[in-house]
Amino acid sequence: IPDFIIIILSLILAVNIYKVTGVRIISLRADAGTLNLWFPTLLVSIAPTLYMFKLVSVKYLQMSSEDYIKTAVAKGMRLNYINFQHVYKNVEPFIKAELIKVISLSVGNLFIIEYIMNVSGITKFIFQSNEIQPIAIGLFSMLFISGVVYLSIRIVLYLFKRGFIYE
């Protein structure tokens, strides 16, 4: 399902929740405060999360059919030990390789969500200007934020590996 369709379906779901329960989940006003923060953030993360779940599940199923995993199961090793020591070590390079694609999906969704939901953010700052300097500042700030997110995820993966994986 394309990202745009997921975003539109999420907006329709939020409107239906409001009709049924009377609880407002979203607001399309630019000065709505926290209503304009958590729902767009959730929408930005849906498509990359689904992509990562799909990638990890496909690689997990592929790795679980390997001979060394079957041997570990036959030896009676615990499932957590097999997942951490064998499967994760082989799935981690694929996660690291696809991390840039996941972050670029998030940035692409950011453009769509800020436009549809009337959220004031970096992309609105870029598109409202006709001069080069604000556009360059906006694009470099998006690049900087993407770099910070990338590095933080890599640090979390490194700490996870150092904490749970024995080498």
| Start-to-end Cα distance in the chain | 39
Local confidence band at 127 (pLDDT 50, 70, 90 cut-offs): confident
Amino acid at 38: W
What tokens appear for 82 in the block?
């097999």
How many domains is the chain built from? 1
At residue 47, the pLDDT reads: 84
Local confidence band at 70 (pLDDT 50, 70, 90 cut-offs): confident
**Locus of tokens 């470099």:** 140
Q: Are 138 and 124 in contact (CB under 8 A)?
A: no
Q: Are 48 and 103 in contact (CB under 8 A)?
A: yes
Local confidence band at 31 (pLDDT 50, 70, 90 cut-offs): low
pLDDT value at 13 more than 80: yes
Domain span at 40: 3-164
Q: Are 83 and 48 in contact (CB under 8 A)?
A: no
Local confidence band at 34 (pLDDT 50, 70, 90 cut-offs): low
